[in-house]
Amino acid sequence: MEVLKVEGLSKRFGGVYSLEDVSFSVSGGERLAIIGPNGAGKTTLFNVLAGQLSATRGRVYLFEQEITNLAPHRRARLGMARSFQISNLFFNLTVLDNTLLAIQGSQARSFQMFRSIEAYGDMFAKAKKLLSTTDLWEKKDDLVRNMSHGEQRNLEIVLSLASEPKVLLLDEPTAGLTEAESANIVKVVSGLGSDTTVLFVAHDMDLVLNAADRIIVLHYGNTIAEGTPDEIQANPKVKEVYMGIKELAANAEAH
């Protein structure tokens, strides 16, 4: 089934079209990579999909329900989650507080006013499990603003996973991470299973070619190519526009 469908999506800022007539669909469990040069509109696409921005034209469907004008928090309740390219964390709160807020998320219990949050043992257990995947449990009482960039990026991903989303949008998940940290994130995301559909934006071509089932290439807001990693690597238009692939394709062939 088509978990996510995008039809003729356009987004205009003043006189400039950040996205122009973008259409694609994603099936359940698929790993779809969105790539393209800087300024191609990748983050804008995510912002429209997740609801931070409204579309100028076009429609978005989630689980075959139209969500084009749905508020972000409602999309989250339908099972969508995202990570942000620029870490969107609660900098003056602790790592644990950040995680608990993410876990508590769309649950009705977040309106509970009478018991201290410390009484909710199940949330703590879940936080421990989540934070341990990225070695952040030991730092649970640290303030986020005092953490290193890499730790913040890791927390950014953890927050997006906390709600056990059905559709996960990861915006440059490995940017700013060391090789080991990146490999760890890849492991965590691969471990998500077919219940979760993942869309990710990335510049790391190794990651894209290895982790993606399908790739969409954006350029100046338009889709210029769509296909499997092999198809994309062979695509001359893509090579022309996005020189990095050309080089890596040559490297890949050489192995």
Of 70-78, 147-155, 236-244, 246-254, the window that binds other proteins (rule: CB under 8 A) is 70-78
List the x/- string, 9-48, binding to other proteins by CB under 8 A: ----------------------------------------
The verdict on 62 binding other proteins (CB under 8 A) reads: no
List the one residue out of 56, 57, 60 whose CA is nearest residue 72: 60
Decide if residue 122 touches other proteins (CB under 8 A): no
Structure tokens at 54: 């409204």
Instruction: Quote the CA–CA distance of 1 and 67 in Å, as a whole number.
Output: 17
Is 172 known to be catalytic?
A: yes
Interface residue with other proteins among 1, 14, 16, 113 (CB under 8 A) is 113
- Residue in 109, 128, 149, 237 binding other proteins, rule: CB under 8 A: 109
Tokens read off for 242? 């996005």
Q: Does 152 bind other proteins (CB under 8 A)?
A: no
Nearer to other proteins, 107 or 178 (CB): 107
Residues 39/16, Cβ–Cβ less than 8 Å: no
Residues 129-148 that bind other proteins (CB under 8 A): 141
64, 156, 172, 181: which is the annotated catalytic residue?
Answer: 172
Please state, as a whole number, how many other Cβ atoms lie within 10 Å of the Cβ of residue 231.
Answer: 13
Binding positions for other proteins, rule: CB under 8 A: 50-52, 71-73, 76-77, 81-82, 84, 88-93, 97, 100-102, 104-106, 109-118, 120, 141, 159, 162-163
